[in-house]
Amino acid sequence: MMTYYSVLNVTPTSEEWIPEYIPTASKLVAAHGGKYLSRTVTHEQLEGADAPAAVRVIIEWPSKEAATAFMNDPAYSPFLKMRTNGSNSEHFLLAGQDDMAQ
């Protein structure tokens, strides 16, 4: 199986959802085999057009199936809704491969 990575940019538009979201999302990520590699407000943009985000998150998954199972988990659904309603978020799923290697 190939490792996959979730890369998220999250800027809260409200903060009341955060205290309930973080512990539950953390448990569900772990239950699906995910591991937080970074979850931080300490970041800087080095290139490109301005793309601000309050928090950057990287999660390592053992497989694409594990990542999609987490996202589709009925237990996560209300928390996903909390995050998407309470923030501006982008979530990218990257294959752990180098398509540019020669």
Q: At residue 102, does pLDDT exceed 90?
A: no
Q: For the segment 52-73, what is each residue's pLDDT rounded down to a tens digit?
A: 999 999 999 999 999 999 999 9
Q: What is the DSSP letter of 97?
A: S
Cβ proximity of 40 and 55 under 8 Å: yes
Q: What domains are defined for the chain?
A: 4-45+52-95 (3.30.70.100)
pTM attached to this predicted model = 0.94
Q: For the segment 13-59, what is each residue's pLDDT rounded down to a tens digit?
A: 999 999 999 999 999 999 999 999 999 999 999 999 999 999 999 99
Q: Residue 59: left if φ>0, alpha if ψ -120 to 50, beta else—which one?
A: beta
